[in-house]
Amino acid sequence: MKRLSGVRMAEVVVTGGSGFVGSWVVIELLRQGYQVRTTVRDLRREEDVRAMIAGEVDPGDRLTFFAADLLSDDGWDRAVTGADYVVHVASPMPTGEYRGQDVITPAREGTRRVLEAALRAGVKRVVATSSTAAASPRIKGAGADEAVWTDLPPKKIYDYPRAKTLAEADAWAFIRAAGGRMELTTVLPSSIQGPVLGRDYSASVDVVGLMLKGKMPALPRIGFGIVDVRDLATLHVKAMLSPVAAGQRFIGSGDFLWFADIARLLRDELGPRATRVSTRGLPDIIVRLGGLFNAELAQLAPNLGVRTLYSSAKAERMLDWRPRPAPESIIDTARSLIERGLI
């Protein structure tokens, strides 16, 4: 193990370091002085990812890369052997319209592979990224905290929440069966926004991108709680380190914004760079009718006009974590997309 100023620094494995959340978790850990290992599916990505991270913090010799795929057993033991912590961020799931793909099995098997390798390696704690999709209240628009688990209706359009809910439930079952040999903490973010470092950003960021491109000519009555990716990275590290976080779920969510709110923010703050952003509303009936033929609209329809507030009070109380204002995150998202030529 490397030492910093004579003090042994813990080694942390971050799965999926090339991704939107994973890269910011790596950055936060490096800023705090940790030795960081990160997994990528293909080591040919190392140079690009290292350069992306170096734009925020100098990784020096404290960042190493390992090849490991959530859909294969190969590489995981090598990646985690000797590590103190694992932050499991990577997900093999596609986003948007799934077009008949199985997103549930890969999510569950990927989580199992990481946990099994971590347990064999004697890792102290795994922090796993779940989603508020795994904590949705049964009553539309009701508030939700970590005590809530999503009820899963047997409908195809619910594959994303089903995958996130089952993968997290599997993780907790695995930890119970391990009998105290390893700790688990889960982090449940809402819609993730914030500065992008490369092309591997989340579908939630694409909402802003589509607006800026003029590809959302009318806005459905859809909204969500927002968490900044930088704050989410901080929450993962706090969940990794805090003694009281073992065995806990933590929601990470801030202000709720409708699509219309986001559009107005972009128009007001970006001026001529947001001329293609539409503020026109899309009638509910159009979304509902379109959902009969389009899977993405079918996913939107049940949430039209629904304002679900996910509470981060537990993370604020137990981990001293605070999310920044959502408008700041939205504008930083947009500026980063523009400055990196991604729209």
Closest CA to 91 of 77, 73, 70: 70
CA distance 260 to 342: 22
Tally the C-alpha atoms within 13 A of residue 14's C-alpha that lie toward its C-beta.
Answer: 29
Give strand ranges (E) for 89-241.
Answer: 125-129, 183-189, 191-193, 223-228
Strand 11-15 and strand 63-67: the pairing is unpaired
Query: 213 phi and psi, to 5 degrees?
Result: -80, -10
How would DSSP label each residue in 34-99?
A: -EEEEEES-GGGHHHHHHHHHTTS--TTSEEEEE--TTSSTTHHHHHTT-SEEEE-------S--T
3-class secondary structure, 183? strand
- Could you confirm whether 124 is annotated as catalytic? no
Q: State how far the Cα of 291 lies from the Cα of 302, in Å rounded to an integer.
A: 10
Bridge partners (DSSP) listed for residue 125: 85, 183
Separation of alpha carbons 256 and 281, rounded Å: 18
Q: One of 124, 140, 155, 164 is an active-site residue; which one?
A: 164
Q: Please, are residues 255 and 218 in contact by the beta-carbon 8 Å criterion?
A: no
Residues 163, 103: contact at Cβ < 8 Å?
yes
Distance (Å, rounded) from C-alpha 124 to C-alpha 77? Answer: 15
Catalytic positions, written as ranges: 164
